[in-house]
Amino acid sequence: MKAIQIHQAGAPDVLTYEDTQQPTPKKDQVLVRMISASVNWADVMVRKGIYPGMPAWPVIPGIDGAGVVESVGNQVSNLKPGQNVLILGQKCYADYTVVNSRSVWPIPDGIDMDEAAVLPVNYLTAYHMMHTVARMQPEETLVIYAAAGGVGTAVIQLGKLAGVTVIGLTSSEEKARFTREQGIDHIINYKTEDVLEKIKDITNGKGVNVILNSVAGNTFDRDFEALAPLGQIIWFGMAAGLPEGDLGKQLGVGFAKSAGIRTFMVFNVMDLDPGLMTRSVGTLFDYLGGNKIKPHIYESIPLSEAARAHQILESGAVSGKLILKP
């Protein structure tokens, strides 16, 4: 089979399209023929060698997507060859991948495979940050970084369904227009506007209940200032690298209003409660089938051009989601 392999950390050109051995499912695994593989910032971090829990080289990247069951291990009874499935696993930049059966969910009839492929990392991350971690209530307010991206689009759409006011941060008027089309309540161009002042204006000086931060870098000082009492930052990505500044001082600002910070990775929901994950997948399928959410596919790119996909993602041009097609 063909797969993208990375033999050493580096720029997008280290993503090489190679022949490799087709995997065989173990007793509790499923072999899936990939139809659509999502391109995530986590894949960029793997390519750069900075992903938490980084595997040893060589690596086949990709952590979610959609495909067709090819075969199953002898202890798998709930899935069968020929089913369209959603997967959350690893090694998705390939013609075939094997996944633990608990991370595979049948896709209902009528669901587009590319749109389904967006759900595991982007929509499940958004859903569980809002509902499992932050336990947000109607009329509460959140800020989402990279509002035009995959998770940002999911947060906007799911926020509307939850009655949450969504404030987005973005870098261009083109992306701002895209977020308005998705139904965002407020959008701030962080390159041309004072983010903290705009948040204060929007919330009448109260601050926001939740900030979903996929960037970190030098953002935490501002985030703690922008929080309302009892508010929280959920840090789920490192687009600008590890946090900078004096975390003790930042926590001191938060302490004065009982505000806090926590990290999030969607895989931990699966580890903690597979049943909860399965129920949330079902909820998202209901939303998708009922046209209550609509993943935006920015471009579908052949798997052999994965390097170009990473170049596009890192350029900042993407609104919505990039998909690789084996």
Residue 64 reports pLDDT greater than 90: yes
Give the model's pLDDT for residue 283: 98
Using the Cα atoms of residue 163, residue 189, residue 50 and residue 28 in order, give the sign of their dihedral: positive
What tens digit of pLDDT does each residue of 78-90 get? Answer: 999 999 999 999 9
Residue 53 reports pLDDT greater than 90: no
Q: What fold is seen in the domain 2-118+295-325?
A: Quinone Oxidoreductase; Chain A, domain 1 (3.90.180)
Q: Are 72 and 31 in contact (CB under 8 A)?
A: yes
Averaged pLDDT of the chain: 96
C-alpha–C-alpha distance, residues 252 and 16, integer Å: 46
Report percent pLDDT > 90 for the chain: 92
The pTM (predicted TM-score) of the whole model is 0.95
| Residue spans of alpha helices (H) in the chain | 41-48, 113-117, 124-128, 150-162, 173-182, 195-202, 220-226, 247-255, 267-272, 274-289, 306-315
298: amino acid identity, one letter:
Y
Give the model's pLDDT for residue 1: 97
Q: Are strands 208-213 and 227-235 parallel, antiparallel or unpaired?
A: parallel
pLDDT band at 250 (very low <50, low <70, confident <90, very high): confident
C-alpha–C-alpha distance, residues 177 and 172, integer Å: 9
pLDDT band at 253 (very low <50, low <70, confident <90, very high): confident
Q: Start-end ranges of CATH 3.40.50.720 in the chain?
A: 122-263
For residue 184, give both structure tokens. Answer: 């965002």
Q: Start-end ranges of CATH 3.90.180.10 in the chain?
A: 2-118+295-325
Residue 306 reports pLDDT greater than 90: yes
User: Is the link from the previous residue into 229 a cis peptide, with omega within 30 of 0?
Assistant: no
C-alpha–C-alpha distance, residues 12 and 282, integer Å: 35
CA proximity to 155, closest of 179, 181, 127, 177: 127
Element (H, E) at 137: none
CA proximity to 322, closest of 287, 288, 298, 293: 298
CA proximity to 253, closest of 272, 278, 228: 228
Give the model's pLDDT for residue 196: 97
Q: Are strands 2-5 and 16-19 parallel, antiparallel or unpaired?
A: antiparallel
Residue 248 reports pLDDT greater than 90: no
pLDDT band at 286 (very low <50, low <70, confident <90, very high): very high
CA proximity to 285, closest of 34, 108, 84: 108
Q: Which CATH architecture has domain 122-263?
A: 3-Layer(aba) Sandwich (3.40)
Residue 97 reports pLDDT greater than 90: yes
DSSP sequence for 53-67 = TPPPSSB----EEEE
